[in-house]
Amino acid sequence: MNSKDQLRKHIRSLRRQLTPYQQQLASESLVNQLRVNDVYQQSESIALYLANDGEISVQPLAQYAWQQGKKLYLPVLNAETGVSLIFKRWLPDSEFEPNRFKIPEPVTDETIEARALDLVCLPLVAFDNQGGRLGMGGGFYDRTFSFTLAESCATPILWGMAHECQEVEAVPKEDWDIPLSSIITDQRWYEVKN
């Protein structure tokens, strides 16, 4: 088992130990930080995710964003490539079907290209305060947003969402890892200087 696998196992265990009440409080704290943020306020097309395996939930943020009339999208495995993501519209009454990882995906033909999103809130397993993100290991987000490494893109803005217990001193990095511009936890906001 390599260091990334060991780190994933350890941090996933920590976040799964959080009680439902702790999860709820963390989620509410997260949305309270985001709703007053200028970048969030100015974003019209936002990609979120459905929490899985102890990830911090962004469901309260979705409820708030729908009330504001924002367009929300969820990541869906790209059937053509099998290794990247597309983003499908998420509405309060969306129907879902599970993907090969048993994660629900919206059933709709309404999609948006990754480049057209204003803001992407990404789940993660571990993070560091330099914007390093350790995901589940599939590389789906890294492949999808690889264009941000080669181009000077103002959007989409990439934010990591996490519990404070997911911070580590340094995430092992690879050349293809996509850095985040901020990490928002239930306790604080980590602004990254890239």
Q: Is 136 annotated as a binding residue?
A: yes
Say whether pLDDT at 153 is over 90.
Answer: no
Closest by CA position to 156, among listed 166, 141, 171: 141
Q: Is 7 annotated as a binding residue?
A: yes
* Mean pLDDT score, 150-158: 79
- Pairing status of strand 119-123 against strand 45-47: parallel
Distances (CA, A) of 170 to 3, 24, 176: 12, 27, 16
Say whether pLDDT at 168 is over 70.
Answer: yes
What residue ranges define each of the domains in the chain, with the CATH number in brackets?
A: 3-104+111-187 (3.40.50.10420)
pLDDT recorded at residue 179: 84
Q: Is 141 annotated as a binding residue?
A: yes
Q: Is 133 annotated as a binding residue?
A: yes
Q: Is 160 annotated as a binding residue?
A: no
Q: Is 140 annotated as a binding residue?
A: yes
Question: Helices 59-67 and 20-34: crossing angle, nearest 10°?
Answer: 40
Q: Is 25 annotated as a binding residue?
A: no
Q: Is 135 annotated as a binding residue?
A: yes
Q: Is 55 annotated as a binding residue?
A: yes
* Mean pLDDT score, 163-172: 94
| Tens-place pLDDT, residues 59-78 | 999 999 999 999 999 999 98
Q: Is 4 annotated as a binding residue?
A: yes
Confidence band, pLDDT 50/70/90 cuts, at residue 21 = very high
pTM above 0.85, yes or no: yes
pLDDT recorded at residue 2: 62
Q: Percent of the chain at pLDDT above 70?
A: 96
Say whether pLDDT at 193 is over 80.
Answer: no
